[in-house]
Structure 1
Amino acid sequence: MFKRLCSEELWIFSLHASSFLTIGDINGDNNEDIIILDSQGTHLKIFLNFANGQLTEEKKFSTGYTTVKISTGDMNHDKKVDVITTDFWTHAIIILYNTGDETFYHRVISTNLYGANVRAISDINNDKIPDVIMTNYSPGEIG
């Protein structure tokens, strides 16, 4: 599942039945953790990084929805990495707020963007508030 390739600086991580992957420091220890969305889009699988090449066993969390694509960012300025995704059926943005004890709570924001997918989180307009960059199936639209 997680093994060293060629040198101490190059690693490979693979997991069966997963669809999307991102990284973020979920537990605040200054080590990037691995966050995977399962192939059905219904669960996050989180592997905490010990920074010595070892990962914890997966911690599984329900997204509560059928989600597609995931990204991370501190959406509520609490210095904790949150997970952002979209629901395939309702086209809503789902923010999974990190509570700091390796659990999350949901906030759902409705959109009317058919097939909306979160692509990135960044402060595009420099207002100190994270912006959610999305694409969708409608031609010429970016959310």
Structure 2
Amino acid sequence: LNSIFLTETIYSVGLRPYAVVVADVNSDTKPDIVIANQGSETVSILLNKGNGNFSPQTIYSVGLRPYSVAVADVNSDNQPDIIIANSGSNSSSVLLNAGNGTFSPQVAFAVGSSPDSVAVVDVNNDNKPDIVTVNVKSSTVSILLNIGNGTFSSQITYSVG
């Protein structure tokens, strides 16, 4: 097979990009790129222009050393929100989608020590996605139950390992 590759395009993001998720964050049916940047305590969003190119990054502040990123609608407005595990600040940041691929400033929720991974799933069957983090230094899992409108309960912690 002969393969032809186009010239690479390099996009600027924050310092020490660590985690990435691809999702349509501006409801235009095109996959956008969301990156957690450890070195700058930010998340970068590159919106897909639809022609194989992306817009320059839009930057939002999050907690210290963001290690993991997820995208899910946590406030039932049919728009994907951004959820981050911040290893250095022992928190999970929630950035609610304000429309057109823009986001509100982060709201941080306390979790265990050094959360290195985040997942968003309905753990209690109430049809609202909850936040789950794996906390390396405390050997725990934290669950933040979704209480509506993008707000979450205090963590419920389970020991693991």
Question: TM-score range with shorter-chain normalisation?
Answer: 0.7 to 0.9
CA distance in 1, matches of 2:31, 2:68: 19
* Cα drift, residue 82 of structure 1: 0.9
Q: How does 1:23-62 map to 2 (within 5 A)?
A: 23-62=22-61
Aligned to 2:150: none
Aligned to 2:133: 134
Identity of aligned residues (%): 22
CA distance in 1, matches of 2:103, 2:131: 22
How does the TM-score come out when normalised to structure 1? 0.77
Report whether the alignment pairs 1:91 with 2:90.
yes
Aligned to 1:115: 114
RMSD: 2.5
| Bigger Rg over Cα | 2
What number of residue pairs does the alignment pair up?
132
Q: 1:84–1:118: 8 Å Cα contact kept in structure 2? A: no
Q: 2:95–2:105: 8 Å Cα contact kept in structure 1? A: yes
CA distance in 2, matches of 1:86, 1:22: 13
Closer/same/farther in 2, CA of residues 24 and 100 from structure 1, 3 Å limit = same
Q: Counterpart of 2:105 in 1: which secondary structure?
A: strand
Aligned to 1:103: 103
How does the TM-score come out when normalised to structure 2? 0.69
Unaligned runs of 5+ in 2: 143-161
Closer/same/farther in 2, CA of residues 24 and 104 from structure 1, 3 Å limit = farther
